[in-house]
Amino acid sequence: MKVIGWRDRLFRKLSTISPITPEEFTDTEKLKHDRRRYEADVAIEAALGIVAVVARGWCYRYRLLEDGRRTVFNFWLPGDLINLTPMAPGLVSHTAAVREAELVHIVDADFIAMCDASPALGAAFAANERLDNLLLANQVLRLGRLSAMERVAHLFLELWDRLSLVGLADGEQFPLPFTYGTLADALGLSNVHVSRTLGQLRDRGLIETKRRTVLLKAPQQLADLTEYDPIGTCIGPND
Amino acid sequence: MKVIGWRDRLFRKLSTISPITPEEFTDTEKLKHDRRRYEADVAIEAALGIVAVVARGWCYRYRLLEDGRRTVFNFWLPGDLINLTPMAPGLVSHTAAVREAELVHIVDADFIAMCDASPALGAAFAANERLDNLLLANQVLRLGRLSAMERVAHLFLELWDRLSLVGLADGEQFPLPFTYGTLADALGLSNVHVSRTLGQLRDRGLIETKRRTVLLKAPQQLADLTEYDPIGTCIGPND
DNA sequence: CGGTCTGTTGAAATTGATCAATACCGGTGG
DNA sequence: CCACCGGTATTGATCAATTTCAACAGACCG
């Protein structure tokens, strides 16, 4: 059985957003790393001078308000790079695992040294930061100006796109490992309305859902509905 | 008459988010730069390998949908750093001036060389990127989980905070150079509801508005209302 | 096989959007 | 200086989207 490791996922992602060859990527083999497992919904402790790559499972970045409201800023999928250096003593956002996840910890200084030594790697990780920024901007677009149904469609397309990039989608089908409550906090909706909206999308024959997976039955219609821009087209390597 | 230039604004901002001395900042004097003026609401053309600092006026980053809806992702104030390198051929977001603005263009390569040569400057600009990320996250929080009144209060506190940082607030008073339509697109509301919400805040004695300026009459109450975290406390230099 | 967490459904309440009319404000030209 | 004009802000009435509350149904787990 072939195991796809975190380096494979990372390479697949980087190579679609930046021109980088497998040879240039081999430098990452030498990185000292430390694999750790995290329980669901427990804030992952910040670690000064550490970056991490998601090796298995999903994580999410969130913030709690005092009255219990929660905002989910984004999801981190396998192959995604997370900076674990704390922003400040009183953190404004936390990261936790959806259900369960494993992260590979890497010392920031080693990582930077590697990027300095290899221009291709440095450029690829710079593109990766631009992509993170784009994903946050997508989140602002969804919450700011899209209707409930458009939000769901847009987020599903984004997740499908990102999962396909790292080989975790099965055709038009992909896993959605979290609860509707978490989805609601990511979409700025109530869990009740998320349920209703998914029902509408099912009724229209645009999606199917079963046991924590989603099947996009009409990706093109969903894309038309929301003006979603695939990652490859909006941040890909310049021709 | 003392003129406060873009370098002063930039330094004020950087020095509150990163430990940097005026001496370390003097390297920026040598940067070749090119000052340009931009008209209101005209998309600023992307420029490969160029970064810019806002020298005068405000800009905003936005995206238009085909049916005319507009999302404003954030505002760029004097002293803010904007990357003008295009993300891709089909741009997903644009930047334009509110009313009118001047940007200072700097060649990216010069900028990077300067950061490489001075660790303090490199660290300061890295902190600046983290701040940009935090501001986008704030925007997600506002749109995702705050009510209309909370959104307005939160954004006003953020703008006041940022303007104070670069010396552009007059005590609790600060300029708001754009129209309610623009504010609405930044808050994910209709312009009508923005007007009503500001009315409520006025009625409660929390703010005053006159001729494109806002006076925060009770900043503490506004902060309590929204759990706004001042920039200095959440991204400041570590002790 | 019970218990708990998650999802679904209905009805009522709330928030904010839309539409439409009016007021205001800053400029411009006579 | 005044009258007018276009754009912007305000207000009221109505409408639509989403939330909340509450009850129930399913799924998963030991």
Cα–Cα distance between A91 and A97 in angstroms, integer? 17
Task: Flag whether pLDDT at B89 surpasses 90.
Answer: no
Amino acid at A195: S
Backbone angles phi, psi at A146, to 5 degrees: -105, 150
- What pLDDT digit, counting tens, does each position of A112-140 carry? 999 999 999 999 999 999 999 999 999 99
User: Of B92, B149, B222, B225, whose CA–CA distance to A229 is shortest?
Assistant: B92
Nearest neighbour of B140 by CB, restricted to A88, A132, A140? A140
- What pLDDT digit, counting tens, does each position of A171-219 carry? 999 999 999 999 999 999 999 999 999 999 999 999 999 889 999 999 9
Task: Flag whether pLDDT at A239 surpasses 60.
Answer: no
Question: How would residue B237 be classed by pLDDT, with cut points 50, 70 and 90?
Answer: low
Calculate the angstrom distance between C1' of C6 and CA of A183.
Answer: 13
Look at chain B and count its residues: 239
H or E segment at A208? strand A207-210
Please calculate the CA angle A208-A213-A219 and round it to the nearest 5 degrees.
50
Calculate the angstrom distance between C1' of C20 and CA of B22.
Answer: 57
Cα A130 to chain centroid distance, Å, stands at 13
Residues of chain A in contact with residue B87, where contact means CB-CB under 8 angstroms, are: 130, 134, 234-235
- What pLDDT digit, counting tens, does each position of A84-96 carry? 988 766 568 999 9
User: Of A2, A4, A5, A238, whose CA–CA distance to A130 is shortest?
Assistant: A238
In sequence order, the 6+-apart residues with CB closer than 8 A to the CB of B1 are none
Question: How would residue A238 be classed by pLDDT, with cut points 50, 70 and 90?
Answer: low
User: Of A86, A26, A18, whose CA–CA distance to A51 is shortest?
Assistant: A86
The pLDDT value recorded for residue A89 is: 61
Q: CA of A2, closest CA in chain B: separation in Å?
A: 35
A143–B234 C-beta distance less than 8 A: no
A129–B70 C-beta distance less than 8 A: no
- The average pLDDT across B86-96 equals 79
Residues of chain B in contact with residue A69, where contact means CB-CB under 8 angstroms, are: 145
Cα–Cα distance between A22 and A120 in angstroms, integer? 11
Cα–Cα distance between A224 and B25 in angstroms, integer? 48
More confident: B227 or A232: B227
Cα–Cα distance between A52 and A80 in angstroms, integer? 8
- The average pLDDT across B175-190 equals 97
Nearest neighbour of B137 by CB, restricted to A90, A136, A186? A136
Q: Which nucleotides of C are covered by protein (CB under 7 A)?
A: 5-11, 15-20, 25-26
Which of A 121-180 have CB under 7 A of nucleic chain D? 147-149
Q: What is the DSSP letter of A40?
A: B
- Look-up: residue for tokens 């992952």? A44
A92–B234 C-beta distance less than 8 A: yes
Residues of chain B in contact with residue A73, where contact means CB-CB under 8 angstroms, are: 137, 140-141
Tell which phi-psi region holds residue B173, choosing left (phi > 0), alpha (psi between -120 and 50) or beta: beta
Task: Flag whether pLDDT at A1 surpasses 80.
Answer: no
